[in-house]
């Protein structure tokens, strides 16, 4: 496996006007490629591609958690087929066009940026590199488990070893702590460029909060293990976001938000972005007896003016062109052209707080649970009256004595729509959402627990690729 780093001229020139060369290779395979790209060109590439990598992961995990469903019978992600994830691993296309680098390319760009930042004492850039590397690598191990890391970025090693996922997890925590130290260093000679920082527009305080937010997320992943530490999680939550305005998100795109492209594809009869029956029923009153006002800000109605999801694995009931089912809306919060691509949010932090405090401080847990719902509704723009009605509904306002982990997980499931971390939550919760069932024609007797390794690794690095028995095999934190 050889990792190459990409600085895309279309991306950075169109959006940021920073990167003057069209391609960067740290392996020096092309003498015409720049070996010293502008520091802010790399900053733009790293922050933007981190967001795109989250989309890439969500583009298939959203079928695993039944946010989305294929309009065709036996869609590969619907039925847990061991689909090739090479496109996610390295180079892929967002919704079929416009090739972009994958996770390793993003981290490699970050490593090059880190070298330049160290030489210039650009501490803020160093902090961004460490946070984004932790975000990307923690995403990788959450999908695949063990992956190449310690040898992956050495151009002299073509078949890098696979590091233990738990070791990479711990490295991510160290990266986040180191980033916080970097951000706190005073008077860097070069400061972040707001136009090139596509996540926080050069706000160092928000980057620090994001480092704490990602750390809270990672520590909360350990909820099944004896090492789970609610006190440490709550400490990190307390240092993370204070409101929706501080969320980590990407809002500038080459053409449109990639989920917006999915919705646009479907509007042009390419049949993409169909809503799962599970998600629709969770919000339309079928499963929980309360209609969620967020549904109309996410999905389309059928020709009959109702909301109807597609059963995973079963495929569409209508023609696909006559609005027989609901789809991602081209004007929806997540899928309009200029929608933000969410990476970490205040709402997520409140649900992490609710879960971490549930066993020891039920009053705090209940307050955080309600605050998480309110924060997400505010993010989506739910009208005040509808928000109040939902929050006061007896199915939601159950009181602290009647609060359950199931309610916390259910509301977090809604608030994390399309986010790959939802698959982590589903596995931690053992898919125990109300009315959740295996997809029609599932190729596993139980719910999917991991992604399979890509064919590129099986062909090029087979001697190091771990053997997996089935996609129902649990990762180290999911025992």
- Residue pair 275/36 in contact by the 8 Å Cβ criterion: no
Assess contact for 39 and 124: CB atoms under 8 A. Answer: no
In this prediction, residues 307-331 reach a mean pLDDT of 94
Angle between helix 421-428 and helix 405-415 axes, rounded to 10 deg: 160
Instruction: Give the Cα separation of 428 and 217 in Å (integer).
Output: 13
Distance between CA atoms of residues 162 and 217, nearest Å: 24
229-261 pLDDT, tens digit per residue, is 999 999 999 999 999 999 999 999 999 999 999
The C-alpha atoms of residue 179 and residue 349 are separated, in whole angstroms, by 20
Has this prediction a pTM greater than 0.85?
yes
CA distance 296 to 40: 39
Distance CA 348, CA 344 (A): 7
Q: What contacts 296, CB < 8 A, 6 or more positions away?
A: none
Give the integer Cα–Cα distance in Å for 130 and 138: 12
- pLDDT score, position 458: 87
Q: Got the DSSP string for 74-89? A: T-TTTTT-----HHHH
C-alpha angle 240-359-351 in degrees, rounded to nearest 5: 35
Spatial distance between the Cα atoms of 216 and 182, rounded to a whole number of angstroms? 19
Quote the mean pLDDT of the chain.
Answer: 90
User: Do residues 294 and 381 lie in contact, with contact meaning Cβ atoms separated by under 8 Å?
Assistant: no
189 and 121 in contact (C-beta within 8 Å)? yes
Question: Does residue 266 carry a pLDDT above 60?
Answer: yes
What SS3 class is residue 328? strand
Query: In this predicted structure, what is the pLDDT of residue 30?
Result: 41
Which whole number is the average pLDDT over 442-453? 97
Give the residue extent of every domain in the chain: 9-202+450-460
Residue 123 is predicted with a pLDDT of: 98
Element housing 250 (H / E): strand 248-250
**Best CATH choice for the domain 9-202+450-460 from the list 1.25.40.390, 1.20.1250.20, 3.20.20.70, 1.10.8.80:** 1.25.40.390
Range with the poorest average pLDDT among 95-99, 288-292, 387-391? 95-99
Q: Distance between CA 99 and CA 317 in Å, rounded?
A: 33
More confident residue, 105 or 369: 369
Give the SS3 label for residue 298.
coil
| pLDDT, mean of residues 154-178 | 96
Mean pLDDT of 150-157: 93
Q: Cβ atoms within 10 A of the Cβ of 438, count?
A: 16
Write the DSSP assignment of 101-144 as a string of letters.
Answer: --HHHHHHHHHHHHHHHHHHT-HHHHHHHHHHHHHHHHHHHHHH
Q: Is the pLDDT of residue 197 over 90?
A: yes
Helix (H, G, I), strand (E, B) or coil at 165: helix
The pLDDT score that the predictor gives to residue 37 is: 63
């Amino acid at each position: 496996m050889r990792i190459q780093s990409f600085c895309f001229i279309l991306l950075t020139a169109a959006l940021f006007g920073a990167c003057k060369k069209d391609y960067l290779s740290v392996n020096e395979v092309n003498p015409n490629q720049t070996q010293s790209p502008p520091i802010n060109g790399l900053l733009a590439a790293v922050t933007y591609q981190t967001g795109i990598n989250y989309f890439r992961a969500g583009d298939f995990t959203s079928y695993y958690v039944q946010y989305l469903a294929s309009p065709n019978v036996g869609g590969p992600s619907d039925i847990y087929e061991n689909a090739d994830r090479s496109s996610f691993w390295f180079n892929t296309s967002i919704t079929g066009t416009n090739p972009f680098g994958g996770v390793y390319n993003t981290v490699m760009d970050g490593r090059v940026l880190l070298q330049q930042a160290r030489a210039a004492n650009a501490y803020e850039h160093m902090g961004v590199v460490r946070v984004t590397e932790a975000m990307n690598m923690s995403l990788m191990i959450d999908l695949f488990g063990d992956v190449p890391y310690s040898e992956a970025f050495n151009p002299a090693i073509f078949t890098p070893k696979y590091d233990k996922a738990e070791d990479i997890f711990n490295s991510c925590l160290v990266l986040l702590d180191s980033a916080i130290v970097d951000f706190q260093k005073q008077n860097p000679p070069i400061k972040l460029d707001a136009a090139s920082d596509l996540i926080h527009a050069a706000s160092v305080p928000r980057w620090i909060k994001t480092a704490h937010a990602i750390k809270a997320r990672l520590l909360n992943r350990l909820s099944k293990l004896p090492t789970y530490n609610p006190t440490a999680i709550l400490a990190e939550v307390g240092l993370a976001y204070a409101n929706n305005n501080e969320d980590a998100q990407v809002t500038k795109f080459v053409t449109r938000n990639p989920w917006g492209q999915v919705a646009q594809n479907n509007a042009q009869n390419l049949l993409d972005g169909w809503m799962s029956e599970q998600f629709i029923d969770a919000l339309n009153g079928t499963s929980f007896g309360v209609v969620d006002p967020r549904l109309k800000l996410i999905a389309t109605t059928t020709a009959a003016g109702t909301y109807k999801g597609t059963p995973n694995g079963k495929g569409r009931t209508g023609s696909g062109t006559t609005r027989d089912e609901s789809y991602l809306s081209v004007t929806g919060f997540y899928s309009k052209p200029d929608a933000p691509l969410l990476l970490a949010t205040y709402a997520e932090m409140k649900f992490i707080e609710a879960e971490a405090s549930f066993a020891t401080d039920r009053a705090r847990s209940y307050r955080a649970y309600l605050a998480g719902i309110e924060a997400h509704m505010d993010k989506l723009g739910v009208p005040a009256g509808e928000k109040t009605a939902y929050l006061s509904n007896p199915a939601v306002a159950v009181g602290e004595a009647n609060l359950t982990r199931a309610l916390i997980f259910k509301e977090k499931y809604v608030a994390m729509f399309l986010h790959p971390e939802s698959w982590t939550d589903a596995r931690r919760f053992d898919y125990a959402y109300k009315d959740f069932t295996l997809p029609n024609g599932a190729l596993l007797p139980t719910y999917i627990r991991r992604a399979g390794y890509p064919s590129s690794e099986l062909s090029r690095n087979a001697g190091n690729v771990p053997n997996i028995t089935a996609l129902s095999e649990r990762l180290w934190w999911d025992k």
